[in-house]
Structure 1
Amino acid sequence: MTPNGHDPRPVLVTGGAGFLGSHLCERLLREGHRVLAVDNLSSGRVDNVRHLLAHSGFELRQQDATALQGVRASAVFNLACPASPPFYQRDPIGTTLTCVLGTLRALDIGHDQGVPVLQASTSEIYGDPDVHPQTEDYRGNVSTLGPRACYDEGKRCAETLCCDYQRQHGVAIRLARIFNTYGPRMLPGDGRVVSNFIVQALRGEDITLYGDGQQSRSFCFVDDTIDGLLRLMASGIDEPVNLGNPHEVTMRELAERILRLTDSRSRLVHRPLPADDPRRRCPDIQRARTRLGWAPRVPLDEGLARTAAHLRAVLGLRAPARRTGMALARTSRPPTLREPTP
């Protein structure tokens, strides 16, 4: 993958109008690449890339990744698939097909064009883990029958396809196992815990904790995740690589941090734990540290503040009239192509 001017073909980003995809497209354009973003807009939004549409090196194509064929590309980032449980459970058959057929189409393009394919895999392939933290060698504890299986098993099958295309056809692959990522452009109702808690806090609604609130996750700010994806694509690593923040927090601690950051008076309330909800999830990132020189840099409170400022603006809520509130608003300025994202 070389900058524009050395290869006339664009970088293909499937799911390019989604949360992660839009940030990736923006970063690629900044680095001098031409970009073709493909998205069926089932969970992605044109608004995520509206500021890129006037850029001469950017094209957005509304198309399902499962139907993608004959595309010229200098590299392929396969990010197509809803990542939040409410979205991928809304159409579980479609989710499985996107994971499998969408990845198949991306690999076909990689094979035809002789270019690398980065598969956006997920920490969900580890299921409800018996090993903690999770290393890339851990094979997971995943249900094939539950409501999350369409995503979990679909992503596992996608990794298998990537490895088989490498063995059978010599396609250069990259496998990014992405842990919880958050930041601006998350949708208020996308069902992920960070956006759920922030929206509830901003609206003064009860913050919903499932179970006892002691289940844990780790949260990586979107800028750090994008940096990891680009480093992985530029490497020659064909083994899976965890990309996530190794700092583990409980759901109760996350809720309490958000209450402080938003100065909210929302209450914490408990609801029954959903089926197959993992108890703990935290990456071992030793491989990323040593092989990519990568580790997350944005502290959780800073990232949450920037995310809260974005969601406050989306909801049309005014920032509180106090210095910390105004500071949050200033840190949330939308990035432009000429101004590096902090």
Structure 2
Amino acid sequence: MAVFISSQEKEDLASIASYASLDTLAGKTILVTGSTGLIGSALIKGMVLYGKTHARPITIIGLARNEKKVKEVFGSFLDFAYLSFVYQDIHFPLSLAVPVDYIVHAASVTSSSFFISHPVETIETTVLGSLNVLEFAREQKVSSLVYLSSMEVYGRVGESEERTTEDTLGSLDILNVRSSYSESKRMAECMCRSYYEEHGVPVKIARLAQTFGPGIGAQDNRVFAQFAKSALTGQDIVLHTTGLSVGNYCYLPDTIKGIITLLVKGASGEAYTIVNEDTSMTIADMASLVAEKVSKNSIKVVYDVPPKGINLGYAPDTKLRLSAKKMNGLGWHAEVNLEQAYQRLITGLREAAEFQKERI
């Protein structure tokens, strides 16, 4: 099956494939859960490209639920002899016929509206899924496991000029069903540390800032995706909040390289924040950046804030400004700033839209 890949996405995947730390994985076997998601699929595609240019390829096993979606996401990448998939739900114990050396646990719910409409399922996916992966890692005696957590574990922190480091956590409202995501991520992190302390599982925790780049789904409705689509279509950006919450972001290839860095260099039992510090800004400021710099003032920002009591699924306002110091200490540094990330994302979306028109 032919799968469309934009020129920008090809460039990004080539950048991942050339990342030197992948050499550590050469000749080894890696399991990637959440294999059809944005991060899992980009990691797998980058490793496939690495394998095509190296004598000792990485054997890759993707965990997925839907074979049809795997074909839609990977297309001709499936022709690579060292790539295979196991189909099962992450809620059940894992069982593979071959030994595994490394694991990246990327399976996760990512939709804010789902957190609210299906909080029980959100918790089950995070907690049960992570428990199954950790137990499998213990049984396999893997060399390294990276668990993909979220910056949402930080909760609401006090406003400060100082950046928030991994040892600082704010408050969470445990009776807000949206906290089903952030609280379950906290629990999963505690499980990771517990499996390290009690069973010696070499797990590293990656607290991801919001990650985006070419390859996001057409139906992605997160704030950054809405802004990019507005820029692409020439429509004004409409904010349904005051936009005072501070966002933290990282471009997809930078995030993937951070995950690989953690896999081969991170300290077991530790948490690391993967973020581009230059991207920390309010939602309102990001909207203005897209309208003024990315769109060259061809669109504007419009505020349409609903009355109090109407819940659209957005996280509570936070002034969180994350620190990348701990990741930088491993030799990783984010390279693509927010304006560049938007330009590249929009290029990918534009090419994808043109491809769809040609097919009609």
**Fold shared by both chains (TM-score > 0.5):** yes
> How far apart, CA to CA, are the structure 2 residues paired with 1:46 and 1:203?
29
- CA shift for structure 1 position 279: 2.5
Task: Label 1:67 to 1:109 Cα distance change in 2 as closer, same or farther (>3 A).
Answer: same
> How far apart, CA to CA, are the structure 1 residues paired with 2:177 and 2:74?
31
Task: Label 1:131 to 1:313 Cα distance change in 2 as closer, same or farther (>3 A).
Answer: same
| Aligned partner (choices 131, 134, 141) of residue 107 of structure 1 | 134
| 126-135 vs 296-305, which moves further | 126-135
Secondary structure, aligned partner of 1:136 = coil
Deviations, residues 2-38 of structure 1 (Å, cap 9, x unaligned): 5343x4xx31110011001111112233153111111
Which residue does 2:34 correspond to in 1? 15
- CA shift for structure 1 position 262: 3.7
Task: Label 1:241 to 1:131 Cα distance change in 2 as closer, same or farther (>3 A).
Answer: farther
Which residue does 1:337 correspond to in 2? none
Deviations, residues 145-175 of structure 1 (Å, cap 9, x unaligned): 2132111011111011111111211111101
Task: Label 1:96 to 1:47 Cα distance change in 2 as closer, same or farther (>3 A).
Answer: same
2:88 aligned partner, one-letter code? Q
Native 8 Å contact 2:159 2:320 kept in 1:
no
Native 8 Å contact 1:208 1:271 kept in 2:
no
- CA shift for structure 1 position 251: 1.5
For structure 2, the 5+ residue unaligned runs are 1-21, 52-56
- CA shift for structure 1 position 222: 0.5
2:273 aligned partner, one-letter code? N
> How far apart, CA to CA, are the structure 2 residues paired with 1:46 and 1:89?
30
Task: Label 1:57 to 1:278 Cα distance change in 2 as closer, same or farther (>3 A).
Answer: farther
Native 8 Å contact 2:156 2:171 kept in 1:
yes
- CA shift for structure 1 position 209: 1.5
> How far apart, CA to CA, are the structure 2 residues paired with 1:94 and 1:41?
18
Matching of residue 256 in structure 1 with residue 288 in structure 2: yes
- CA shift for structure 1 position 261: 2.1
> How far apart, CA to CA, are the structure 1 residues paired with 2:328 and 2:103?
24
Secondary structure, aligned partner of 1:177 = strand
Task: Label 1:156 to 1:35 Cα distance change in 2 as closer, same or farther (>3 A).
Answer: same
Matching of residue 301 in structure 1 with residue 339 in structure 2: yes
Secondary structure, aligned partner of 2:304 = strand
2:32 aligned partner, one-letter code? V
Which residue does 1:286 correspond to in 2? 325
Higher relative contact order (CA 8 A, sep 6+): 2
> How far apart, CA to CA, are the structure 1 residues paired with 2:71 and 2:116?
22
- CA shift for structure 1 position 82: 2.0
| Aligned partner (choices 266, 271, 281) of residue 305 of structure 2 | 271
> How far apart, CA to CA, are the structure 1 residues paired with 2:241 and 2:192?
36
Which residue does 2:238 correspond to in 1? 208
> How far apart, CA to CA, are the structure 2 residues paired with 1:84 and 1:222?
18
Which residue does 1:37 correspond to in 2? 62
- CA shift for structure 1 position 316: 3.9
- CA shift for structure 1 position 317: 8.4
> How far apart, CA to CA, are the structure 1 residues paired with 2:222 and 2:177?
16
Higher helix share: 2
Secondary structure, aligned partner of 2:25 = coil
* TM-score normalised by the chain length of structure 2: 0.80
Secondary structure, aligned partner of 2:277 = coil
Secondary structure, aligned partner of 2:91 = helix
Which residue does 2:277 correspond to in 1? 246
1:299 aligned partner, one-letter code? N
Native 8 Å contact 1:216 1:279 kept in 2:
yes
Secondary structure, aligned partner of 2:45 = helix
> How far apart, CA to CA, are the structure 2 residues paired with 1:169 and 1:134?
30
| Aligned partner (choices 168, 187, 192) of residue 138 of structure 1 | 168
Native 8 Å contact 1:48 1:185 kept in 2:
no
Matching of residue 61 in structure 1 with residue 100 in structure 2: no
Secondary structure, aligned partner of 1:211 = coil
Task: Label 1:281 to 1:62 Cα distance change in 2 as closer, same or farther (>3 A).
Answer: farther
Task: Label 1:122 to 1:101 Cα distance change in 2 as closer, same or farther (>3 A).
Answer: same
Which residue does 2:185 correspond to in 1? 155
* TM-score normalised by the chain length of structure 1: 0.84
Native 8 Å contact 2:34 2:63 kept in 1:
yes
Size of the alignment, in residue pairs?
A: 314
Task: Label 1:277 to 1:156 Cα distance change in 2 as closer, same or farther (>3 A).
Answer: same
| Aligned partner (choices 120, 131, 134) of residue 148 of structure 2 | 120
Which residue does 2:352 correspond to in 1? 314
Which residue does 1:334 correspond to in 2? none
Native 8 Å contact 1:214 1:250 kept in 2:
yes
Native 8 Å contact 2:287 2:301 kept in 1:
no
Matching of residue 230 in structure 1 with residue 260 in structure 2: yes
Native 8 Å contact 1:201 1:266 kept in 2:
no
> How far apart, CA to CA, are the structure 1 residues paired with 2:245 and 2:320?
8
| Aligned partner (choices 99, 102, 107) of residue 80 of structure 1 | 107
